[in-house]
Structure 1
């Protein structure tokens, strides 16, 4: 039997949203929700946004609050978390999302989109930020998602 699955994603430019919607179309009976941040948190310029995120990662600025509807995470067996890659890290709203999920007992997996090759450390940073969660995998595309859902 397929797991009850929730797809949560943060998308800065729209690429991660497209992948989340593609995955959503391939999984029957799941829910999908976009994670947002307050207006003005990031710049429309990719390089300025990257600098803001680096300041957050380095502790010079607070991580932005992940805004998502009130969800009972524990009604799901699996939560798929989608994110772009920023300087090898998940987008910084993902850190506060994972903190909101800290009491979640099910499985967590992440998919990501990347414009460059700076994604090799993504998995280790995602696992570090999700410390205490049952993380079963991280994939650059949707190739492993059907296995996670089974």
Structure 2
């Protein structure tokens, strides 16, 4: 029996959203797109980075405008977002804070400019109560041809269950 999968993603530039679409096609999972208020982040990447760093420094993470569905029957949550300064993007951090009672399995997927830094370790530290599986990280140029990488990653996740 295939696991019940929830795909949750935040995408500032739509690159992670493109990867999430491929993941949904391969896994058949339900998808939740994380959103924040329209004026939360600037349109400039460097200015957005400054805002995110300030959010991290103050602990004031952005409020999500998407509603989390029931996780009662979810076997696996695939959580995607961009890498910001080698860390989990602040909207994704906001989501992960909502998983405090989720003791199931999660796996990150992420997009980066070629330097993921300590993304997966940062991700795992944010959900210590869950079982964290290896993630999938791709650059923007790799996302256009992601199906093979996603399929291999997914097969590894399913085989590990």
Q: Same fold (TM over 0.5)?
A: yes
Corresponding position: 1:76 with 2:89: no
Q: CA separation in 1, counterparts of 2:41 and 2:54?
A: 12
What residue ranges of structure 2 are gaps of 5+ in the alignment? 139-149
Question: CA-atom RMSD, angstroms?
Answer: 1.5
Q: How far off is 1:40 after superposition?
A: 0.6
Q: How far off is 1:145 after superposition?
A: 2.6
Q: How far off is 1:43 after superposition?
A: 0.5
Partner of residue 19, structure 2 = 19
Q: CA separation in 1, counterparts of 2:14 and 2:100?
A: 27
Partner of residue 134, structure 1 = 131
Q: How far off is 1:137 after superposition?
A: 2.0
User: 4+ residue stretches of structure 1 with deviation over 3 A?
Assistant: none
What residue ranges of structure 1 are gaps of 5+ in the alignment? none
Partner of residue 94, structure 1 = 92
1:29-55 CA-to-partner distances (Å, cap 9, x unmatched) read x20110011121101000000111111
Q: CA separation in 2, counterparts of 1:127 and 1:100?
A: 14
Aligned residues: 147
On the 8 A contact 2:109/2:136 being kept in 1, the answer is: yes
TM-score (norm 2): 0.85
TM-score (norm 1): 0.90
Mean alpha-carbon deviation: is it higher for 40-49 or for 50-59? Answer: 50-59
